[in-house]
Every structure is written in structure tokens, then in C-alpha cells.
């Protein structure tokens, strides 16, 4: 039942993702991708659970390595997206 429940979430969020992202204008496709990089850093949640739950040395190391990679995505992704979006401005000043 758990598997079905998770698959249900997957299905709904896929459809929602398609709806939302098809509305993003072409101008913002690069920030969309780097923002998506940041969101895919969500694996950090899984990585933290592996690294910190004391399941032996191997699981801890694997988890720690995953934490490092996922943090690169989270920090780098959000920061570079912000840096790009800050450059988009309307004609008469203002964002």
C-alpha cells in the first residue's frame, strides 16, 4: 500500500509540475534550470538521514558524500539563480 501511496504522490506532482512549468516564459528558462538544480538538491534530506542515523561506517560515509554533493546543488543553485534573476529588469528601472 505504501508503494501505491507514493506512486500517487508522484503522479500528482508530475502533472502539477507540467502545469506550472509550461507557464514559465522562455526568457527565464536558464534560471528555471538552475533553480531546478537547487530543488533537486532535496536529496540532501535523504543524505542527512543516511549520514546521521548510525547504521555503520559505510552508510555514514556514503551519506556524508551525498550531503556534500547535494549541498553544492542547494547553495550553488539558489545563489546563482538569484544572481541571474536580479539582472532581469524592466525598462524604466525597477525589477
- Residues in 35-94 at the binding interface with another protein, rule: CB under 8 A: 35-56, 58-91
Binding-site size for another protein (CB under 8 A) equals: 82
Of 15-34, which residues contact another protein (CB under 8 A)? 16-18, 20-34
Which is nearest to 88 in space by CA: 33, 26, 28?
28
Based on the shown chain and the rule CB under 8 A, indicate whether residue 1 belongs to the binding site for another protein: no
Contacts for 49 with CB less than 8 Å, ≥ 6 apart: 63
Query: Comparing C-alpha atoms, which of 86, 72, 73 is closest to residue 28?
Result: 86
Residue 94 CB, nearest distance to another protein (Å)? 9
Amino acid at each position: 500500500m505504501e508503494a501505491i501511496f507514493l506512486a500517487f504522490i508522484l503522479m500528482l506532482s508530475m502533472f502539477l509540475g507540467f502545469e506550472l512549468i509550461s507557464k514559465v516564459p522562455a526568457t527565464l528558462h536558464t534560471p528555471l534550470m538552475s533553480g531546478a538544480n537547487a530543488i533537486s538538491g532535496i536529496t540532501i534530506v535523504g543524505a542527512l538521514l543516511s549520514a546521521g542515523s548510525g547504521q555503520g561506517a559505510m552508510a555514514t560515509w556514503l551519506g556524508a558524500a551525498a550531503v556534500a554533493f547535494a549541498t553544492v546543488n542547494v547553495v550553488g543553485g539558489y545563489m546563482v539563480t538569484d544572481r541571474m534573476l536580479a539582472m532581469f529588469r524592466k525598462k524604466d528601472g525597477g525589477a
